[in-house]
Amino acid sequence: MQLKHILYSFIAGFVGIFAFAPFSIKILIFLSYGYLVHVIINQSKHQFAQVFSWGLGHWGFGMSWIIVSVYYYGETSILLSSLIHVLLTIILTLVFTCPLLLLILLKKYINQESNSLKILFVASFFMISEISREYLLNGVPWLIPGNIYLDTIGQNIYPYLGASFASYVIYLLTAALVISGRNNKIPIANLVIVLFTLIPQNNDTVSEGDILVSIIQPSSDPFLKYKDNYYLDIESNLLSLIKNTSEDTDLIVIPEAELPYPINDMRFSKFIDRTNSANKILLGAWFFNDAKLFNTIYNPENKNIYKKQHLVPFGEYIPFFSSLRGLISFFDLPMSNVAFGPNDQKNIIVLDNVNVATPICFDVAFPETIRKMNKSSLLMINISNDTWFGSSIGPYHHLSITRVRAIENNRWIIRATNNGFSAIIDNKGTIVEILDQNVSNVLESKVKLVENASIFNKFGYMFNYFFSFIIILLFIARALWKKLKN
């Protein structure tokens, strides 16, 4: 085996990360996935090693924020946190990248077809592989290729068929570039289409809104949060920021689990009383129920509550939990054993009659969850604790995913984070207002309530996957028919 091919694959996987925020060198997604398609379709030796290497480069760097979380918040050695990161990268590669090698089993039949059929089949296979990211391992829909079309004319796909179909377009174009160029021909037409989909697009935002919102970004020290009596500093900071909100503000949003104690704690009700704004506040908070700890968003006025459905691995729940307890101090903290919220929850009501979807942090990465939440909503409120990401690329990528969800569902989003980026995002994905990282401040802006649902919100992404399944089934049926005929 020539090690240089393994290295090339690793570099190709790594390069793909630069297509996402904050770098947004979008053309690189085609080069990265193009090399992966090339390895699977054109090469005949050591394909597993090369595909595995591509996955290590892609997932290893794309999920590198895990190392930050475990190292800083687990108070452990860089060696142990690196080992956990490597373990997770290997698992993600084996589950989400290596199954693409199944294409090799059908390569004999793929090569017998016209280029058009080859391209459709390869793209459909990649599309089905992408489905698994939302369901396997409790779901890791991170680094979805279709998200890179944000801020280009390609984002016009989102409100109709979602980011998943945008991924399908990328797979189609990538497969076309590789397959059409197999005979040393430069596929000029395909290159033109690729570049056309990447033309920048800027959207004008609506200047007036329906309600005035105040986002509290406290930027408390996450390393002191659960230390004795530091809750007094957190309360004091929050009360000071709440006091600085406009008198005519309609809604005050406090980010994910800023207070270190749960709703059930006596200190919680006392804190709410001290705000003198209980009828305006919506906040993230811990909640104990039936001996389980939930990460929630809570309306103190009407007691409406939403429990987070999708938890962050090695952040809120620990794979192989019993084996890791005691290994790192972080794994012994209560918030490393959070319970999953049910998937049939009602939306929260604010301001007496405004129905809002309230995804918490990692929830926003799951398009189908967000779509269902917004079937009846007028607005989306996303709270998040991005301190877990540290100074990594995580916060930038997380913000871009949130913007994609706004476009997909035709909803404005109020995004409140503990230390940035807090933002107001309109239904075109445009950032109307934003607070930078590590700034303690209040962000105020008017937001618009939107009743009209997008086509994607009404019907979801099932067309994308149904179409892909049909293409694959027809291709396999055609291959079997040819085999029987011969």
231-251 residue pLDDT tens: 999 999 999 999 999 999 999
Q: Are residues 326 and 394 in the same domain?
A: yes
Q: Are residues 476 and 329 in the same domain?
A: no
Using CA atoms, how far apart are residues 303 and 132, in angstroms rounded to an integer?
36
Q: What is the mean pLDDT of the chain?
A: 89
What is the pTM (predicted TM-score) of this model?
A: 0.93
Whole-number percent of the chain with pLDDT over 70: 92
Greater model confidence, 205 or 439? 439
Q: Are residues 438 and 473 in the same domain?
A: no
pLDDT(223) > 70? yes
> What does DSSP assign to residue 69?
I
Cα–Cα distances in Å, from 377 out to 168, 254, 356, 430, 444?
Answer: 28, 20, 5, 19, 21
Residue 461: which pLDDT band, with cuts at 50, 70 and 90? confident
> What does DSSP assign to residue 144?
-
Q: Are residues 158 and 306 in the same domain?
A: no
Cα–Cα distances in Å, from 363 out to 35, 320, 343, 438?
Answer: 31, 22, 11, 23
Structure tokens at 346: 């009602």
Q: What are 26-37's pLDDT values in tens digits? A: 999 999 999 999
The bridge status of strand 354-357 relative to strand 348-350 is antiparallel
pLDDT(309) > 90? yes
Average pLDDT over residues 334-351: 87
Q: Are residues 16 and 120 in the same domain?
A: yes
Give the closest residue to 50 by CA, choosing from 85, 3, 90, 91: 3
Q: Are residues 164 and 19 in the same domain?
A: yes
What's residue 180's pLDDT? 81
Give the closest residue to 383 by CA, choosing from 268, 254, 245, 222: 254
Residue 103's domain comprises 3-202+462-485
Residue 275: which pLDDT band, with cuts at 50, 70 and 90? very high
Residue 334: which pLDDT band, with cuts at 50, 70 and 90? very low
Task: Count the domains in the chain.
Answer: 2
Q: Are residues 192 and 225 in the same domain?
A: no
Using CA atoms, how far apart are residues 236 and 247, in angstroms rounded to an integer?
19
Cα–Cα distances in Å, from 458 out to 155, 162, 354, 463?
Answer: 18, 11, 20, 12
What's residue 336's pLDDT? 62
Ranking 184-188, 282-286, 383-387, 422-426 by mean pLDDT, the lowest is 184-188
Q: Are residues 20 and 120 in the same domain?
A: yes
What's residue 323's pLDDT? 47
Residue 38: which pLDDT band, with cuts at 50, 70 and 90? very high
Greater model confidence, 189 or 257? 257
Q: Sort 246 into a burial class: Cβ within 10 Å, 0-12 / 13-18 / 19+.
A: exposed
Structure tokens at 70: 């475990």
* Residue 26 neighbours by CB under 8 Å, 6+ apart: 19, 148, 149, 152, 198
Give the closest residue to 164 by CA, choosing from 139, 131, 195: 131
Using CA atoms, how far apart are residues 232 and 38, in angstroms rounded to an integer?
58
Structure tokens at 15: 């390069």
Q: Are residues 468 and 449 in the same domain?
A: no
Structure tokens at 115: 């280029």
Give the closest residue to 297 by CA, choosing from 306, 288, 287: 306
Of 219-228, 290-299, 387-396, give the range with the top mean pLDDT.
290-299
- How many alpha carbons lie under 13 Å from residue 223 in its C-beta half-sphere? 7
Q: Are residues 93 and 172 in the same domain?
A: yes
Buried b (16+ CB within 10 A) or exposed e, 397-413: bbbbbbbbbbbbbbbbb
Give the DSSP letter string of 95-123.
HHTGGGGGGGGGHHHHTTS-HHHHHHHHH
Average pLDDT over residues 181-210: 77
Contact between 154 and 173 under an 8 Å Cβ cutoff? The reply is no
Q: What are 135-178's pLDDT values in tens digits? A: 887 888 999 999 999 999 999 999 999 999 999 999 999 999 99
Give the closest residue to 447 by CA, choosing from 372, 369, 363, 351: 351
- φ, ψ of residue 435 to 5 degrees: the values are -110, 135
Give the closest residue to 162 by CA, choosing from 471, 427, 407, 378: 407
What's residue 211's pLDDT? 95
Q: Domain holding 401: CATH number?
A: 3.60.110.10
Q: Are residues 169 and 230 in the same domain?
A: no
What's residue 73's pLDDT? 65
Ranking 124-133, 211-220, 253-262 by mean pLDDT, the lowest is 124-133
What's residue 127's pLDDT? 93
Give the DSSP letter string of 39-63.
HHHH--SSHHHHHHHHHHHHHHHHT
The bridge status of strand 379-384 relative to strand 413-417 is parallel
Q: What are 370-425's pLDDT values in tens digits? A: 999 999 999 999 999 988 787 889 999 999 999 999 999 999 999 999 998 999 99
* Residue 438 neighbours by CB under 8 Å, 6+ apart: 219, 419, 420
- The dihedral built from the CA positions of residue 453, 455, 459 and 464, taken in this order, carries a sign that is negative
What's residue 212's pLDDT? 97
Average pLDDT over residues 325-338: 56
Q: Are residues 265 and 305 in the same domain?
A: yes
